[in-house]
Amino acid sequence: MNSPITRVFGFLLVVLGVYLWIGYSITALTGSGDEAAAVVEITPEGGEVIYWGKGRCFTCHSVGGQGSAVRGPNHGQFGEKFQQSMGARAVERALARTKKEGVEFTAVDYVVESLASPGAFVVEGYKNEMAVVYAPPISLNLKEIKAVTAYLMSLGGDLDMEAIDTAPSEITKKLYSKIAAAAEAGGGDPELGAEVFEDNCVECHSLGEDDGEIGPNLSGIAASGLKFISESILAPTKSLTKGYETYVVINNEGRQFIGLKTRDADGEVDITNALGDVETITKSDIKEIRIDDTLSIMPDDISEVLTVKEYQDVLSFLMLQKPAEEE
């Protein structure tokens, strides 16, 4: 009953359920499948509907005298404290961001960043408790984020629809892909996913220049797609990465070694096991050597170690690992 297979399968069902639940709101992401999107126009009017509805912004924010929430800054002009509406205020906040980061932020960059990475800049006098609006339960998709941005920019600002929608700046583009990746992975949070990766995967996988210690380097893995990545985690043996096949070696004494063949030279073979331990076996001492494609060095119980949320977080993190030449 409680075999790893049934447990993995049960976990898969939960994950699938989550996908289905949010499925309809996320199909419009990353530029494909736009047809299936809920009817939201990328206009200030469309954004206004989101703001006072699905986005639940009104539960923490007000716009001038409209609404009564005070947990977050007022987005309109209001009293001494809010002398400028959000669109105009964003220009000033962008200057502060430019100064701090040393790269030029536009007003749109600022607004999009406050939605994509609320912790990056916390408005003075407030706590870092802005909701992650692209994660459950709010789960705005990219189109809705753009609409809400248009709405905020229209409040006293210079509404530049190209900067918001069709021709975003580099900074905005990056933030959009973060949101898209997160939403595509069931609303996972890539920043938390980076921590999950650090805690559970780096002992075998690396990103960037270096080779993985044991497993393949995962830079550019996003290109393999969400389905492949999730399968690789849930059922590692289903598609063993080429060059990372699992070898079983039995020596003349009958001792068995299981691992990756990491060297084959000078009449010797190195077998590296899941812990990274290397055994060197002389070829004359080998009675049997074969590939076992029902085994992976990658543990198949990772799905039990991770919560569903952590799994979604790490998926969204991996969906951001785009091949370098793609930008």
* Binding interface with ligand HEC (CB under 6 A): 51, 55-57, 59-61, 71-73, 86, 89, 93, 111, 114-115, 118, 121-123, 126-131, 133, 140, 148, 152, 200-201, 203-205, 214-216, 218, 221, 229, 232-233, 236, 240-241, 244, 274, 296-299, 302, 314
Cβ at position 103, least distance to ligand HEC in Å: 18
Whether 163 and 126 have beta carbons less than 8 Å apart is answered as no
57 or 269: whose CB is closer to ligand HEC?
57
Question: What six digits make up the tokens of 174?
Answer: 């990056």
CA distance 233 to 315: 9
Cβ at position 284, least distance to ligand HEC in Å: 28
Cβ at position 201, least distance to ligand HEC in Å: 3
205 or 261: whose CB is closer to ligand HEC?
205
CA distance 256 to 294: 16
Query: 240-244 long-range contacts, Cβ below 8 Å, gap at least 24?
Result: 240/293, 240/296, 241/215, 241/216, 243/216, 244/215, 244/216, 244/296, 244/297
Whether 34 and 26 have beta carbons less than 8 Å apart is answered as no
Whether 146 and 42 have beta carbons less than 8 Å apart is answered as yes
Cβ at position 215, least distance to ligand HEC in Å: 3
274 or 285: whose CB is closer to ligand HEC?
274
Q: Among residues 115, 149, 120, 139, which one has the least CA distance to residue 188?
A: 139
Q: Among residues 312, 147, 292, 139, which one has the least CA distance to residue 233?
A: 312
Cβ at position 250, least distance to ligand HEC in Å: 21
104 or 199: whose CB is closer to ligand HEC?
199
85 or 177: whose CB is closer to ligand HEC?
85
Burial 14-52, CB ≥16 within 10 A → b, else e = ebeebbeebeebbbbbbeeeeeebeebebbbebbbbbbe
235 or 281: whose CB is closer to ligand HEC?
235
118 or 173: whose CB is closer to ligand HEC?
118
Cβ at position 106, least distance to ligand HEC in Å: 14
Contacts of 32 (CB under 8 A, 6+ apart): none
In the structure, how many helices (H) and strands (E) does the chain have?
A: 11, 5
CA distance 261 to 313: 32
127 or 227: whose CB is closer to ligand HEC?
127
Bridge partner list, 280: 270
Whether 215 and 221 have beta carbons less than 8 Å apart is answered as no
Cβ at position 122, least distance to ligand HEC in Å: 4
Cβ at position 112, least distance to ligand HEC in Å: 9
